[in-house]
Amino acid sequence: MAITRHREGRLGVLGAIVLLTSIVLFIGCLFLLTVNGPWGGGTIFGDDLFKPASMQTKEETEQQIPVKNETKPNMTEALEELSILGCVITEYTESYPEEDVIKLKYTDFKIKAVNYKIVFTTETQGRKVLFVKGHGKTYGWSP
C-alpha cells in the first residue's frame, strides 16, 4: 500500500507541473494572437506572423499601376480603363458632397480607384464626376 501512495504523489506533482505549463503556454499563445492576430492591433514579431493565409498582406493590397504621361482622358476612356483595371462602376444616387471632395489628377485618382475598387459616378452642375470613398475621405476627378 505504501508503494501506490508514493506513485500517486509523484504523478500528482508531475501532473500539476504539466497542467501549469500548458496553462502558461495557452495564455502566452492567446496573448501573441491578440497582439499579432487578425483581430489584434500591435506587433511583436512582425506584421504577418499569425495572420491566416487567406488575409492579404500590405504588399498584395497596394497594387502598382503603370503611370503613363499621356493626354487627359475623357469620361468614356476613363470609365473603360477603370473597368479594365477591375473597378466596379456604379451610379451615386445621393447628393454629391462637392465641398468634402479631394480633387485629384487622373493618374492619382486612378491609383485610389484601383485600391478602393468601387467608383461612383454622378452628375453635378451639368458635368459628370467620378469619385471614390474610403477611410472617411472622398476623392474625385472630372475631365
Same domain, yes or no, for 51 and 68? no
Please state, in angstroms and rounded to a whole number, the distance separating the CA atoms of residues 133 and 119: 8
Residue 51 and residue 95 in one domain: no
pLDDT tens profile 16-60: 888 899 999 998 877 776 665 555 555 555 555 555 555 555 555
In terms of domains, do 79 and 118 share one?
Answer: yes
Counted domains in the chain? 2
More confident residue, 71 or 12: 12
Average pLDDT on 101-125 reads 82
Domain boundary among 16, 34, 55: 55
Indicate whether 44 and 85 sit together in one domain. Answer: no
Last residue of a domain, one of 10, 33, 55: 55
Query: What's the distance, Cα to Cα, between the start and end of the chain in Å?
Result: 95
Residue 1 has pLDDT above 50, yes or no: no
pLDDT above 50 for 119: yes
When mean pLDDT is compared across 5-9, 16-20, 117-121, the lowest value belongs to: 5-9
Greater pLDDT, 51 or 93: 93
Mean pLDDT (whole number) for 121-137: 80
Indicate if 39 and 70 belong to the same structural domain: no
**Which residue reads 462602376 in cell numbers?**
89
Range of the domain at 29: 1-55
Whether residues 101 and 36 share a domain: the answer is no
In this prediction, residue 53 carries a pLDDT of: 56
Looking at the fold, whether 131 and 68 belong to one and the same domain comes out as yes
**Each residue of 51-92: pLDDT tens digit?**
555 555 555 555 555 555 555 677 788 888 888 888 888 887
Are 50 and 71 within one domain? Answer: no
Q: Over 60: is that where the pLDDT of 12 sits?
A: yes
Q: Write the CA distances from 21 to 18, 33, 61, integer angstroms.
A: 5, 18, 40
Q: Which of 20, 35, 55 is the C-terminal boundary of a domain?
A: 55
**Mapping DSSP to helix (H, G, I), strand (E, B) and coil, where does residue 12 land?**
helix
Distance CA 48, CA 45 (A): 8
